[in-house]
Amino acid sequence: EPEVTQTPSHQVTQMGQEVILRCVPISNHLYFYWYRQILGQKVEFLVSFYNNEISEKSEIFDDQFSVERPDGSNFTLKIRSTKLEDSAMYFCASTQKVRRMYTDTQYFGPGTRLTVL
């Protein structure tokens, strides 16, 4: 079965450094997402991306965050200057079809654990 992949599985960085988290969505999917889960807390939506642009972002997704689809397969999340509170598990997700009242199943990747020291 096709799956979403993410690299790296674990990233350790110093506060203030830039990190790039990478995702390869399922090949025929058109909608891409980033979520995060701080340890012990709920999974939170960060951003959705469709047709090479951000379709929606949350309050968490401030100017420190950016997303990109640099080629036909990768989908990246960049954090420009990491803070301690950015430590979390970051999940990439993709879905094939979203209509006004209908959504296909969202497929999630295994996550990247980001630790900011």
Partner 1 sequence: KQEVTQIPAALSVPEGENLVLNCSFTDSAIYNLQWFRQDPGKGLTSLLLIQSSQREQTSGRLNASLDKSSGRSTLYIAASQPGDSATYLCAVRPASGTYKYIFGTGTRLKVLA
Binding interface with partner 1 (CB under 8 A): 4, 6, 31, 33, 35, 42-45, 48, 50, 55-56, 58, 91, 93, 98, 100-111, 113
Beta carbons of 35 and 48 less than 8 angstroms apart: no
Beta carbons of 67 and 34 less than 8 angstroms apart: yes
Based on CB atoms, which residue is closest to partner 1, 16 or 113?
113
Based on CB atoms, which residue is closest to partner 1, 50 or 64?
50
Looking at the chain, the number of H-run helices and the number of E-run strands are 0, 13
CB 12, min distance to partner 1, A: 16
CB 38, min distance to partner 1, A: 12
Using DSSP, state whether 101 is helix, strand or coil: coil
